[in-house]
Structure 1
Amino acid sequence: MKVIIVLVLVAAVVAVPLRPPHDYSPASAYTAPYYQVPARYHFNYGVKDGYSRNDYGHQETRDDYGTKGSYFVQLPDGRLQKVTYSVSGDSGFVAEVTYYGQAHYPAYKPAPAPAYNPAPAYNPTPAYKPVPAYRPSPVYG
């Protein structure tokens, strides 16, 4: 049992990094900060849902200061819009937009007007019958 505990402690000590994650020594001032290192990545995703008719996606690749990618989306008129873009250094964002398919719109069919036959919902029946607050005098009346 003692051997296992010693091995676990040795493994924990070996797994600890030799340098702290934030090195504030004078020698670290001469190394390039992480934000000056050129980026390199690739990602993509896509969604296609028949029930909601969502169809869209995106892919992008970056290597150093050059970026290339594209994204697409299904438009409500039935066409697919695709945007292909690139950025090379300080050249700016250069995009090319293309459409696939034909736009189609359903024929307009106005909804039939509902039959409107209002029935009176309120029949006022007076519940209060005013009575004179005075009584005629038999002498003057």
Structure 2
Amino acid sequence: MSFKILCFAAFATVAVAHGHVAYSSQHVSRHDGHPHIVHVHGHGHGHGHGHIDYHAHPKYNFEYMVNDKHTGDIKSQHESRDGDVVKGYYSLHQPDGSVRSVHYHGDHHTGFHADVKYGVHHIVPKKHHY
């Protein structure tokens, strides 16, 4: 953990030394259940024997964010999963100045669905005086 803090401090120092501040963050929380035995049939060694595997109920929350106004790299994402249900959101600033926002969800019964929206940020060009 102290290595991660040292790396972040070094990155922040370099960013500030070059006249801009950039940052990123991430967080993952896993809440998997206890594993239980699953019998998988037909995956033996060709002798008709079943195979035993272990399965835990997958459950997690994940998020990250990057914000570097100097390079224009601005994005974020959040995703959660509980069993076969996945829900999430991500947003990013595109090179043309628009912001893409996507809300998505998916599960075993309905498949994957995404709602994509674009927001326009008006860029005012600098006036050059000759």
TM-score (normalizing by structure 2): 0.52
CA distance in 1, matches of 2:115, 2:70: 30
CA distance in 1, matches of 2:108, 2:125: 45
Aligned match of 1:58 = 77
CA distance in 1, matches of 2:86, 2:65: 19
Which one has more relative contact order, counting CA pairs under 8 Å at least 6 apart?
2
CA distance in 2, matches of 1:84, 1:63: 17
DSSP-derived class of the 1:31 partner: strand
* Equivalent residues in 2 for 1:75-94, closer than 5 Å: 75-94=94-113
User: What is the Cα deviation at residue 98 of structure 1?
Assistant: 0.8
Aligned match of 1:41 = 60
1:31 and 2:31 aligned:
no
* Equivalent residues in 2 for 1:66-81, closer than 5 Å: 66-81=85-100
User: What is the Cα deviation at residue 106 of structure 1?
Assistant: 5.5
Structure whose alpha-carbon radius of gyration is higher: 1
TM-score (normalizing by structure 1): 0.48
Q: Deviations over 1:54-90 (max 9, x none)?
A: 1012110000111000111101111110111000223
CA distance in 1, matches of 2:59, 2:37: 20
DSSP-derived class of the 2:105 partner: strand
Q: Structure 1: state its 5+ residue gaps.
A: 1-29, 108-141
Higher strand share: 2
**After the TM superposition, which segments of 4 or more aligned residues of structure 1 sit over 6 Å from their partners?**
none
